[in-house]
Amino acid sequence: MNKKLPISCPSCSSELKVQSLRCDSCETTINGFYNLPLLLLLEQKEQDFIIDFIQSSGSLKIMAQKLKLSYPTVRNMLDELIQKIKNLQPKIS
């Protein structure tokens, strides 16, 4: 089963933080208080878009062909994502 990482609190919808990390090999557990990385704050489809974009060598034309969408549609999706990342950056810094 592909488990989805929760990024917001199911109770109050606030952004969740990382409290604990565990090593599967030696069973060491680190406790702390960490922000989620910026990429994990994006929705799954947005993360997929970024991965596709990198795999397409940053070419919107190739992305448009892959997604079977027009060039301006894909460019608009990228621009929206850039704006969303800009809005998220002050939260995590």
Partner 1 sequence: MITKLINPFRYIAGGYSLMIGIVILFFTALIGFLSNTHFPDIISVKTSSDFPFNYHIFQIFSNWIIVSFILYIISIIASNSKVRIIDIFGTQALARFPYLIVSFIGFSSSLNNLGKNLTRQFIQQGEPVELSVFTIVIAISLIFITLFLTVWLIVLMYNAFKISANLKGYKSILLFIAGLIISIFLSGLISNLLIQA
Write out the residues near partner 1 by the rule CB under 8 A. 68-73, 75-76, 79
Asked if residue 49 lies in contact with residue 81, where contact means CB atoms within 8 angstroms, the answer is yes
First to last CA, the chain: 33
CB of 89 to partner 1, least distance (A): 17
Tokens representing residue 44 in the block: 């799954």
Identity of the residue, 29 or 87, whose beta carbon is nearer to partner 1 in the bound complex: 87
Q: Min. distance of Cβ 86 from partner 1 in angstroms?
A: 11
Q: Which is nearer to partner 1, 66 or 75 (CB)?
A: 75
Q: Do residues 49 and 80 touch, judged by C-beta distance below 8 A?
A: no
Closer residue to partner 1 (CB): 37 or 72? 72
Min separation Cβ 34 and partner 1, Å: 33
- The tokens describing 14, both together, are 């606030």
> Would you state the structure tokens that stand for residue 26, as one six-digit string?
């030696």
Quick one: 36 or 52, whose CB is closer to partner 1? Answer: 52
- Residues 1 and 77: their CA atoms lie apart, in Å, by 29
Q: CB 79 → partner 1: shortest distance, Å?
A: 5
